[in-house]
Structure 1
Amino acid sequence: MRKLLIAGAAVAALGLSGMTVASQTPRNETFRMLQLFGDVLAVVEQAYVVPVDNKKLIEAALAGMMTALDPHSNYLPPEGFEDLQERTSGEYSGVGLTITAEGGLVKVISPMDDSPAARAGVQAGDVISAIEGQNASGLTVTQVSEKLRGAMGTTVTVTFLRDGEEPREVTLTREVIKVESVTSRMEGEFGYLRISTFNENTGRELSAAIEKIKRDHPGVKGFVLDLRNNGGGLLTAAIDVSDAFLERGEIVSQRGRKPEQIERYAARPGDLTGGLPLVVLINYGSASASEIVAGALKDQERAVLVGLTSFGKGSVQTVIPLGGGRDGALSITTARYYTPSGASIQKIGIEPDLEVARSEAEARIVSRSSFIYSEAAYSTALDASIGAERKGPHTPREAPGPDYDKDADYQLQRALDVLRAGGDLTRVAAAPTGIVISEPAAPPPAATDTTEEE
């Protein structure tokens, strides 16, 4: 409510400021440009070759204004705001894609587990080039979402572009995407926990999954937490997940425009696993809330991270309804995230302790700068604010060899190897079917002793 009141006050101030605009040069220029906007709208309305819908024109202008800020600030029309509320509640009808826009293109951040898109082989980094044969370049995320969503059982044909491949046209049948954010199973003597997204139910589902594994398998010796291709979600869910594995210490901080705009979130006593060894799997499709969890567990020395450097979305978006939601909402970037050690996630991502590609093809992607799919690739992305940069193109330490079973999960197997070695990377031998490409990573640095959305 506080943020909504601030927004309302800003609108009121804007309305009153016209009375004193002559004495305030910057504001005078702002109102001159607003007058220009009105003049352009009037010309289009009167002179365009066919009648226009002013509402659509203004909504498009609002969307353009927000996307000029950064890739994650958006204007949501009323139907888009409703869609957002449905997604965070855990159920909607569509094809199961988390998407973003950059440079006039809409890209896939991640396909949701067991969704129509995932089953069709859509991958993180794929570009949506056409929908139902119509060019999708220049469309906003909201416009693409509207085209992809629809009644259960209906179909939509989407053309995807991927590096080094011909355009691929896929017909997807829409389903009710009831997001079960947490799934679990046993992998030998270790528990496997998969989190596909962070929604209102994630914390509760994770607690139940851990409890079930401990109850059904009292001899469980450790856990793998799989956050690969998890595009993020709610900040509160990320805090709940981190808290489930921590006894104490800071989880994340967010810092806004002003020095005093700092919020810190700390763990409460009670590690649900009882301190059992933990490995977290990440890759370049792990974004936002996933990075908060990975960063917290790494900095607090609670887990070893295995996989590839994460996406690097370290910014906070606040959703501000307009007109009580009747006029849609603004999803606007209001802060950056920082891990407990003070590291910025933004544009940098979280680096794993053991760098492992899932396949030789994935290793090649990481080694070629022009095709690394990350926040840093966006021309309008915020900087990290701490002077650091994402690691450039390089050959990952490990990738499976040519004889490795393509249906097997090499990254998961290496995570289990780390657990068998008690989390000591110096004791993790190269897998017989894997190839060590570069020198082993150094042990993770000690975390600072600090106890201090999407």
Structure 2
Amino acid sequence: MRRRSVTFAAVGAAFAAGVVVGPIVGAWAQDPGGRAETYRLLNLFGDVFERVRAEYVEPVNDRDAIENAIQGMLSGLDPHSSYMNPRMYRDMQVQTRGEFGGLGIEVTQENGYIKVISPIDDTPAARAGVKPGDLITHLNGNSVQGLSLQDAVEQMRGERGTAIRITIRREGTDRPIDLSITRAVIRPQVVRFRLEGNDIGYIRLTSFNERTESGLRNAMTQLRQQAGGNLRGIVLDLRNNPGGLLDQAVQVSDDFLSQGEIVSTRARRPEDAQRWNARAGDIAEGLPVVVLINSGSASASEIVAGALQDHRRAIIMGVKSFGKGSVQTVMPIPGNGAMRLTTARYYTPSGRSIQGTGIEPDIEVLATREDAQQVAAARRDREADLRRALTNDNNTPGHAALPPLPPLNLPAGVVDQVQRMPAEGAAAFDPTKPETDFQLQQATTLLRTLAAVPAPQRRAAR
């Protein structure tokens, strides 16, 4: 059985990746003509390895040297391929089940620093004020320059109750920020829900692990009970959701779709292409849906947003997503951990790859007025900015032109009710006060406006 993941590679408090059961097998049989050159290069590696063992200023551990070489080979491919030693692999398997130790942040590496993709809700990092886009420059006073991503991750992990001091460089601040964070066992509540007013269901997915889709179904059941038959729409919040398991993204999309393609993947060999289609049934029973996204919405989040957007099952609101359109497969290496390897690109139902481009919202709504300045300055903080990021193949020679997305067909005047940014002097966003969440408030406004439209027009708008 093959399980795949579309999560960020190498994370501090990470999410799971997919698993291919069975050892890695050689691929030389596919290219017999290249064996001589391959042997020559392997001899080069052996020569360098022996020279390091014999002449480095201090004794070198053979396993460390080989694992570093493997890590370099994989991380040199793209930002999301990596090697996991046995302990990292065990941690990853635990994370897939939705429980892990650490600070509670999704990270990648950029220009030698550790870059925060997003803090996970209700974790030590989130409570300490860590924000998406922060660059971690020091751990306990020591620079992260020269550390591999895995080394930095290992330092951030530790026993529950122990503290670590991290130094952050943040856009818009002149001085470094020092934070002391106490490690904890992270059991993120991947699905949160509540009623907005007494008529709009709000569901937030913080990641895609083995419990996400079942949690979504439970949320819908309870929201219907709480609303007492008065439910008028659903807000599905995928903001700062960094991704996770591909099969969970497919199931969440399927929950809102009754037919049609959800997502497809294309690998190096055409025969390895896969496609997933929706089954009959819509847990929202046709209620209008707004999906909230931002630059921290990545991977599995983008699969869901892209599927619902292409089928016009939901209105996508917020700002452009991260743009990670690749699939990682975790391949166990018996007795030696596993390797996470990028094996495919994924495509939305219309055939578009979002690799490096992201999902464009149907209705752009900025979280703050400061966001407008960043948009005007073309400031980016996404997949395309990562070193060695895969290219988007939508516009490559020979690639068929993609059909335009179907129009929204919203009733006249509905979009006019939505404001693009908060008013001057609006209260700053406080996660504990939903009334300060401008994007959420615009989503509920849109849903209530749609609910007031006569039913035939609402059906045309879906």
Mark yes or no: TM-score above 0.5.
Answer: yes
The corresponding residue for 1:436 is none
In structure 2, the residue corresponding to 1:398 is in which secondary structure?
coil
The corresponding residue for 1:131 is 139
Alpha-carbon distance in 1 for matches of 2:268, 2:452 = 40
The corresponding residue for 1:284 is 295
Shift of 1:5: 7.8
Alignment map for 1:282-321 (pairs within 5 Å): 282-321=293-332
C-alpha spacing 1:423/1:33, structure 2 compared with 1 (3 Å):
farther
In structure 2, the residue corresponding to 1:294 is in which secondary structure?
helix
Which structure's relative contact order is higher, taking Cα pairs within 8 Å and 6+ residues apart? 2
The corresponding residue for 2:155 is 147
Q: What's the TM-score, normalizing by structure 1?
A: 0.86
1:47 aligns with 2:75: no
Alpha-carbon distance in 1 for matches of 2:253, 2:236 = 11
The corresponding residue for 1:250 is 261
Shift of 1:175: 1.2
Asked whether the 8 Å contact 1:94–1:177 carries over to 2, the reply is: yes
Alpha-carbon distance in 1 for matches of 2:137, 2:24 = 39
Asked whether the 8 Å contact 1:418–1:424 carries over to 2, the reply is: no
Q: Which amino acid aligns with 2:385?
A: A
C-alpha spacing 1:5/1:96, structure 2 compared with 1 (3 Å):
closer
The corresponding residue for 2:363 is 354
The corresponding residue for 1:175 is 184
The corresponding residue for 2:441 is 413
Alpha-carbon distance in 2 for matches of 1:87, 1:212 = 27
Alpha-carbon distance in 2 for matches of 1:423, 1:124 = 34
Q: Which amino acid aligns with 1:309?
A: K
Alpha-carbon distance in 1 for matches of 2:362, 2:208 = 23
Alpha-carbon distance in 1 for matches of 2:349, 2:84 = 32
Shift of 1:418: 1.4
Match of 2:421 among 372, 395, 399: 399
The corresponding residue for 2:234 is 223
Shift of 1:381: 0.6
In structure 1, the residue corresponding to 2:271 is in which secondary structure?
coil
The corresponding residue for 1:433 is none
The corresponding residue for 2:117 is 109
In structure 1, the gaps of 5 or more residues are 389-396, 426-445, 448-454
Asked whether the 8 Å contact 1:71–1:102 carries over to 2, the reply is: no
Alpha-carbon distance in 1 for matches of 2:111, 2:73 = 14
Q: Which amino acid aligns with 1:98?
A: E
Asked whether the 8 Å contact 1:313–1:346 carries over to 2, the reply is: yes
C-alpha spacing 1:62/1:403, structure 2 compared with 1 (3 Å):
same
Alpha-carbon distance in 2 for matches of 1:364, 1:164 = 12
C-alpha spacing 1:152/1:28, structure 2 compared with 1 (3 Å):
same
In structure 2, the gaps of 5 or more residues are 3-18, 397-418, 430-435, 454-460
The corresponding residue for 1:422 is 450
Q: Which amino acid aligns with 1:231?
A: P
Alpha-carbon distance in 1 for matches of 2:349, 2:275 = 9
Shift of 1:11: 6.5
Q: Which amino acid aligns with 1:386?
A: N
Greater alpha carbon shift after TM alignment, 358-367 vs 305-314? 358-367
Percent identity over paired residues: 47
CA RMSD of aligned residues (A): 2.3
Alpha-carbon distance in 2 for matches of 1:5, 1:151 = 30
- Cα deviation per residue 1:207-243 (whole Å; 9 max; x = unaligned)? 0010011122121111100000000000011111111
In structure 2, the residue corresponding to 1:400 is in which secondary structure?
coil
In structure 1, the residue corresponding to 2:167 is in which secondary structure?
strand
Asked whether the 8 Å contact 1:227–1:286 carries over to 2, the reply is: yes
Alpha-carbon distance in 2 for matches of 1:423, 1:54 = 66
Shift of 1:151: 1.2
In structure 2, the residue corresponding to 1:373 is in which secondary structure?
coil
Alpha-carbon distance in 2 for matches of 1:89, 1:179 = 11
Asked whether the 8 Å contact 1:106–1:140 carries over to 2, the reply is: no
Structure 1 runs of 4+ off > 6 angstroms? none
Alpha-carbon distance in 1 for matches of 2:322, 2:271 = 28
Q: Which amino acid aligns with 2:212?
A: T
Q: Which amino acid aligns with 2:222?
A: K
Alpha-carbon distance in 1 for matches of 2:93, 2:349 = 30
The corresponding residue for 1:329 is 338
Alpha-carbon distance in 1 for matches of 2:276, 2:146 = 38
Asked whether the 8 Å contact 1:299–1:341 carries over to 2, the reply is: yes
Match of 1:187 among 176, 182, 196: 196
Alignment map for 1:365-380 (pairs within 5 Å): 365-369=374-378, 371-380=379-388
Q: Which amino acid aligns with 1:216?
A: Q
Asked whether the 8 Å contact 2:123–2:188 carries over to 1, the reply is: no
1:72 aligns with 2:83: no
C-alpha spacing 1:246/1:406, structure 2 compared with 1 (3 Å):
same
Alpha-carbon distance in 1 for matches of 2:358, 2:395 = 14
Shift of 1:145: 1.7
Alpha-carbon distance in 1 for matches of 2:117, 2:324 = 11
Alpha-carbon distance in 2 for matches of 1:424, 1:98 = 40
